[in-house]
Amino acid sequence: MKESYIVPAGKARAEIVVQKSRFIASATAAFSVDEARAFLNSIRAEFPDATHHVPAFIVGHGDSMIAHCSDAGEPSGTAGRPALTVLQGSGLGDVAVVVTRYFGGVKLGTGGLSRAYRDAVKAVLAVLPRAQKCQVYTAMVILPYSLFGRVRLIVAEHHGTIADEVFAGDVTMTVRFRTEDFGSFQDALCEVSSGNLAHMEIIEVGEMLFPL
């Protein structure tokens, strides 16, 4: 079973100014390396006259995580790594950040640059909306009309959603649950039906985002 984790629920932007240099941090969800790279390209196109565009991203989470950063022309170790370190400490997965810098004429030194890039990423993460990415089961349940109302209540009680209902000789319900809630739903369904269900099976395993 895949572990649930927190991801961006949208885009965000924050700006800080350090010694006349502007650091514009943009963040979004990135569910693949290609999406992260496309986001970097979109920021480059939006700010074509900027001095640097420093990317950092995490795709996935935990053992399956892919992490990447680049100094993008800044002195080695002063930009990408500080930005990525903040991302890795945030607990987020599937996240991409690009820090755009407009040089203000005052050199910050290696320590000053590192702090500025860290602070820029912290600023955008502070305003970034979040969601929980969870593995979900979609199941088909075929039941007699006599159980329809009670099963609808059971779905809600166990934090599920009803994706579809078809009324024929029996009722066919398509329901969706986080994997951690599905077992308790099955137990409640068995109890209320006393073996009167015509059929139930998991028809799809996928992932969904749940806003926090």
CATH code: domain of residue 145? 3.30.70.240
| Residue 180 belongs to domain spanning | 134-211
Q: Is 123 helix (H, G, I), strand (E, B) or coil?
A: helix
Q: What percent of the chain has pLDDT over 90?
A: 87
What is the number of structural domains in the chain? 2
Between CA 166 and CA 174 the distance in angstroms is: 9
Binned at pLDDT 50, 70 and 90, residue 1 comes out as low
Binned at pLDDT 50, 70 and 90, residue 197 comes out as confident
End residue of a domain, out of 82, 112, 128: 128
Binned at pLDDT 50, 70 and 90, residue 194 comes out as confident
Q: Which residue is associated with the tokens 């680049």?
A: 70
Q: 193: phi > 0 → left, psi -120 to 50 → alpha, else beta; which?
A: alpha
**19-64 tens-digit pLDDT:** 999 999 999 999 999 999 999 999 999 999 999 999 999 999 888 8
pLDDT computed for residue 63 by the predictor: 80
Kind and range of the H or E run holding 53: strand 52-59
Summarize the confidence of residues 106-113 as an average pLDDT: 94
Residues 118 and 143 in one domain: no
Residues 36 and 10 in one domain: yes
